[in-house]
Amino acid sequence: MGQDLKRLWMCLLWFFCGWVALSQGEKAPGPCMRIGICTMQKTAKRSMTDNHLKELVEAATKTNAHFKKDNKGLEVKDMQLHDFMMNYVPDIEIWTTLIIHINFSGKSFIHGDMEITVVSEITTSIRMAALQDHMILLPMCNVNLINVKTNLPNNTRPKTVNKFLNSTLGKALTDVMCPAADKVGQMQKQFEFLGDAQPIGNQGNVTYSLRGSPNITSDHAHICFKTRITRADGEEIETPTEPPALDVLPELPKENSDLSLPVNVLNAVMELHKDVLDQEVSSDTGGPEINRDVLVEKVPSIEIPEGDLMFEIRSTETPTWALEPGVATLKDPLKIELKTRPEKENLFVVTATLKISTAFQVANRHLQISLGENSLEDLALESSSVGDFDPKLLNGYLLDILRATLVEDLKKALENRLPLPNMMDADYGGATIEIERNTLRAVLTSECS
List, for residues 243-293, the tens digit of each pLDDT value. 445 556 788 888 888 999 999 999 999 999 988 889 999 999 888 999 999
Relative orientation angle of helices 37-50 and 169-186, to the nearest 10 degrees:
110
- pTM, two decimal places: 0.75
Q: Over the chain, what is the mean pLDDT?
A: 79
How far apart, in whole angstroms, are the C-alpha atoms of residue 320 and residue 301?
35
Q: Is 92 helix (H, G, I), strand (E, B) or coil?
A: coil
Q: Which pLDDT score is estimated for 4?
A: 39
Q: Residue 56: in which H helix or E strand, if any? A: helix 53-63
List, for residues 366-382, the tens digit of each pLDDT value. 999 999 999 999 999 99
Q: Is 228 helix (H, G, I), strand (E, B) or coil?
A: strand
Is the distance from CB of 411 to CB of 180 less than 8 angstroms? no
Q: How far is CA 114 from CA 72, 76, 227, 247, in A?
A: 11, 12, 57, 58
> In order of start, what are the domains of the chain with their CATH numbers?
37-187 (3.15.10.10), 198-444 (3.15.20.10)
DSSP bridge partners of 322: 329
% of the chain with per-residue pLDDT over 90 = 39
DSSP bridge partners of 89: 93
Residues 82-98 have a mean pLDDT of 73
What does the DSSP 8-state code read for residue 17? S
144 or 65, higher pLDDT: 144
Q: ∠ at Cα 324 (323, 330), nearest 5°?
A: 35
Residues 406-411 have a mean pLDDT of 94
Residues 380-400 have a mean pLDDT of 97
**Does a cis peptide bond (omega within 30 degrees of 0) precede residue 342?**
yes
Alpha-carbon torsion angle 160, 161, 165, 171, nearest 10: 50
How far apart, in whole angstroms, are the C-alpha atoms of residue 378 and residue 35?
43
80: pLDDT strictly greater than 60: yes
Q: Which pLDDT score is estimated for 66?
A: 64
Query: What is the end-to-end Cα distance of the chain in Å, rounded?
Result: 30
How far apart, in whole angstroms, are the C-alpha atoms of residue 291 and residue 305?
10
- Least confident window among 65-69, 333-337, 378-382, 386-390: 65-69
Contacts of residue 72, Cβ cutoff 8 Å, sequence gap at least 6: 107, 109
How far apart, in whole angstroms, are the C-alpha atoms of residue 384 and residue 381?
7
Is the distance from CB of 443 to CB of 434 less than 8 angstroms? yes
List, for residues 425-449, the tens digit of each pLDDT value. 666 777 899 999 999 999 988 777 6
